Chain A
Amino acid sequence: MPGTTSTPELESVLEKKDGGGGGSLPPTGGGGDDDKKRPNSPSSPNRYYVGMAIGIVSVLMFFMALASAFLVRKRGADWAPVHIPALLWFNTAVLLASSGTLEVARKRLANSDTFGFKRFWLVTTVLGVVFLAGQVVAWRTLVNEGIYLASNPASSFFYIFTGAHGLHLLGGVAALIYVAKRNFDTAQLTRTVAAEVTSYYWHFMDALWLFLLALLYLGK
């Protein structure tokens, strides 16, 4: 790459060698300076993808810390396993379905079918809200059975896992609403990019829920 583009630079290198005598000269050319447009022009959507990827790692770390605490704490003598309410399986199916409808919505958007996009996007949002409502109902079932946050370590972990996940998913629902409502005509961020970034987060929340459910189910 430098060999073809940097003839004048090479000349100057030679000039200086003659004039100054010795000394290693700075490497010129090199990767990255082919005439691409300024990378930090505000229109570049890459920052949103990278930002979301890094954010996901960070959220993952939060749950991994709790999960490792769960595994250590499980060995305690005061551990009384919580049975998982049957409703959780229904909720899981709802959440999985919402990931599907989200993808359908994005496909519609790619085909510039705005109406179809809005419809499926709304379905996704509703499914997300149904999941959250289902989680609250599951909590109520447990409370009616006399299993509270403070009952024992296992119940504490059950509530904090579902609660923290629900809170993160609530953020996802807010993002879905934001993408649906915001006027993207004047913004540098396009709806396609916003929808894609939101979809990363949503699918991640989906996968995270499967992980947590497996942890709660197998780890009891």
Chain B
Amino acid sequence: MVTHDEGGDASSSTGSGFLSRVFSTRHKTIGLQYLWLSLASVLVGMVLSALLRVHSSWSDTAIPFLSGIETTPERYAAVRLLHGSLMVFFVLTAAPQLGFGNFFLPLQIGAEEMAFPTLNCLSLWLTVASLAGMTASFFRPLNQGINVWLVSAAIFSLAALLSALNFCVTTIELRTQGMTLPRLPVTVWAWFVNAILSMLIFSVLLAGCTAVLSDRLLGSNFFSTAAFLAQQPQNLVRQGSLPVLWQRLFWYFAQAEVYVAMLPCFGIITHLIATFSRKPVWKERLVVLSICGVGLIGFCVWGYHMFATGMNPYAPLVFSVLASSLGIPAAFLLASWLGTLWDGRIQFTTSALFAIGFISLFIAGGLSGIFLARHDLSRAAVSEDFVIGHFHLVMGVAATFAILAGLFFWFPKLFGCRMNETLGKVHFWLTFAGVYCIFMPMHWLGLLTQSNLLPEAQRVGLASAGASIRTLVTTATIWTVAAQLLFVVNFFGSLLRAKKAEENNPWRATTLEWSIASPAPAENFGAEAPVVYRGAYELSGTAPYEFAPQHISPELLAQKLR
């Protein structure tokens, strides 16, 4: 049972320092802790990716300090696994939903705290434990490491379930007076829909992990018998692949996991585009419906990952149609972003640049997704480099851009100062050019040199031709990773600079978190809960006011006009 405690009031009154600060139950502290966790993970994960590229281009080059870390196929796979786990679980899942969500969801709906603060603290520390476990699994021998990894994934699922529960209840129950559903900022919608989706899919991952672990440790027979594979149509079962059932359960989770990473990003981008174009969100209702649609369809499309594995022959068509129908809400979202930008008075801050960069990456990566979603075309397109290029553009890098956009935007509310705009813009352009140089050529590599449709002899010939492209990709990777130093300098430099009193609302935004001081005070809104009078995006250029914050009463607004 959950005990309700007053969100760390004890810690502030006793002031007994370190422990109560670290194991705080306040939503803002927890949100920041998630963000720090993500920052650490993203830096390590990025270095690992550079390591992987260097290895695949110049496999006999010894890297100082790191020699031997990826030299055997087994270690190489371990590096890939660590890179993937860090990025997917602790950056893409943690930062936009758990980091920003924990910090800003209660602020944007005018609540004092999350619904279950103790539960929130518990899920943070389960996440930390899972991170420690996944990192530890890297240093174990493969067979043992996988067990540790599976336990960590199960712990992460549990943590994700607990925080999803918290997000759902908070959004449903703790909205302040006047914050009706149509008035919710799109960010809150996205966090909410995403929490519902997480609720469903992390249970499945937990079940899958339980069964696999029981197979590996207790010798049970959920996935491990060859007899099951023998039952499947022979031409569809590829030799040497993992048992299909585990893949099915895993992809049930993993495909939806892509949307778990993307949904909050959609929310953040919609929010930022409107704020920086100084225009209301174009077709806001449709955007909210699209976000719900992405959640719903995203939950149903796991099957298309099975194209490469082989599955029941009539199913591909169903999943292909489903996967393609994801294009519909995605197209609505895109139309809304462009419609909002259209004719807007766009303020090209670093945050806005990253948001627009997100749109660009989303289009580029989404287009190659169409190839993969069609069960007939995917035969030609499914190849390692093509798929890596596709999902890194649309999921990895695009989501990272959304996180950076959100960070630049909310930095004043998080830390009470702004990040340096000039450094930020240079960082943006270097990164933007860099990621296109990495992932676009990867698509070509996949289509040209690894296509399953080509005869073997021709593929060998083409593979050597791909070597120069590979070198380009690797060089660009090193370049892009190095460019992130600018971000690190900017981030810590901004933190260290003497904190001036930052204005409450530097971006002239409308939502509730900007009605309070920067950085957000411990008690959020103080004794009096805010009252909401209007929708979240009253940034009308034509009305008598430039923008109307949600919490200003119409009377007050009228007074200000006079």
Interface residues, chain A, with chain B CB atoms under 8 Å away: 8-9, 12-13, 15-16, 19-28, 30-33, 36, 38-40, 42, 44, 46-48, 50-51, 54-55, 57-59, 61-63, 65-66, 69, 72-73, 75-78, 149-153, 155-157, 159-160, 164, 175, 178-179, 187-189, 194, 197-198
Contacts and interface: CB of A to CB of B under 8 A. Distances in A.
B533 interface: yes
B176 interface: yes
A21 B542 CA distance: 9
A152 B543 contact: no
B225 A76 contact: yes
B219 interface: yes
Interface string B205-248: 01110110010001111100101101100000000000001001
Contact of A46 (B173, B177, B554): B173
Given A32-B178, A40-B176, A78-B228, A72 B245 contact: yes
Contact of A33 (B1, B3, B177, B221): B177
Contacts of A178: 1
Interface stretch (B24-32, B196-204, B373-381, B408-416): B196-204
A167 B169 CA distance: 25
Contacts of B228: 73, 76-78, 153
Interface stretch (B109-117, B325-333, B466-474): B109-117
Contacts of B12: none
Contacts of B214: 149, 156, 160
A96 B228 CA distance: 37
Nearest to B220: A156
A93 to B, nearest CB: 27
A191 to B, nearest CB: 12
Contacts of A13: 554
Contacts of A164: 210
A16 B204 CA distance: 54
Contact of A189 (B4, B164, B176, B183): B4
Contact of A19 (B173, B227, B544): B544
Nearest to B195: A54
A30 B533 CA distance: 9
Contacts of A46: 173
Contact of B543 (A15, A24, A28, A51): A24
Given A32-B179, A160-B210, A164-B210, 4 more contacts: A22-B542, A73-B245, A78-B221, A150-B221
Contacts of A24: 540, 542-543
Contacts of A157: 222
Contact of B1 (A8, A75, A194): A194
Contacts of A65: 203-204, 207-208, 249, 252
B214 to A, nearest CB: 6
Contacts of A22: 542-543
A153 B225 contact: yes
13 contacts: A22-B542, A26-B533, A28-B534, A40-B529, A50-B172, A55-B165, A65-B249, A66-B207, A76-B225, A78-B228, A149-B219, A156-B221, A160-B211
B488 to A, nearest CB: 38
Closest 5 CB pairs of A and B: A20-B544, A23-B543, A26-B534, A150-B219, A156-B220
Nearest to A36: B177
A16 B542 CA distance: 12
Contacts of A26: 533-535, 538, 548, 554
B221 A153 contact: yes
A77 B421 CA distance: 65
Given A19-B544, A20-B544, A51 B531 contact: no
Interface of B: 1-4, 6, 110-112, 115-116, 161, 164-165, 168-169, 172-180, 182-183, 199-204, 206-208, 210-211, 214, 218-222, 225, 227-228, 230-231, 245, 248-249, 252, 529, 531-535, 538, 540, 542-545, 548, 554-555, 557-558, 561-562
**Residue of B175, B177, B180, B555 with most chain A CB atoms under a 10 A cut-off:** B177
B176 to A, nearest CB: 7
Contact of A150 (B2, B178, B220): B220
Contacts of B201: 61
A33 B178 contact: yes
A42 B7 CA distance: 11
B376 to A, nearest CB: 26
Contacts of B168: 50-51, 54
Given A42-B4, A50-B172, A16 B561 contact: yes
A151 B204 CA distance: 25
B245 to A, nearest CB: 6
B529 A38 contact: yes
Nearest to A28: B554
B500 to A, nearest CB: 33
B118 to A, nearest CB: 12
B315 to A, nearest CB: 13
Contacts of A188: 4
A184 to B, nearest CB: 11
Contacts of B161: 58
B145 to A, nearest CB: 23
A205 to B, nearest CB: 15
Contacts of A61: 199-201, 203-204
B180 A12 contact: no
Contact of A28 (B111, B182, B533): B533
Given A32-B180, A77-B227, A69 B199 contact: no
Contact of A50 (B173, B199, B538): B173
Nearest to B106: A40
A30 B210 contact: no
A157 to B, nearest CB: 8
B199 A73 contact: no
A13 B102 CA distance: 36
Nearest to B198: A58
A57 B558 CA distance: 47
Nearest to A35: B177
B116 A159 contact: no
B198 to A, nearest CB: 9
A19 B210 CA distance: 66
A24 B252 CA distance: 45
Nearest to B171: A50
A194 B4 CA distance: 12
B227 A78 contact: yes
B288 to A, nearest CB: 16
Contacts of A9: 554-555
B465 to A, nearest CB: 43
A171 B440 CA distance: 51
Given A23-B542, A38-B529, A76-B231, A8 B218 contact: no
A159 B542 CA distance: 67
A32 B177 contact: yes
Nearest to B205: A65
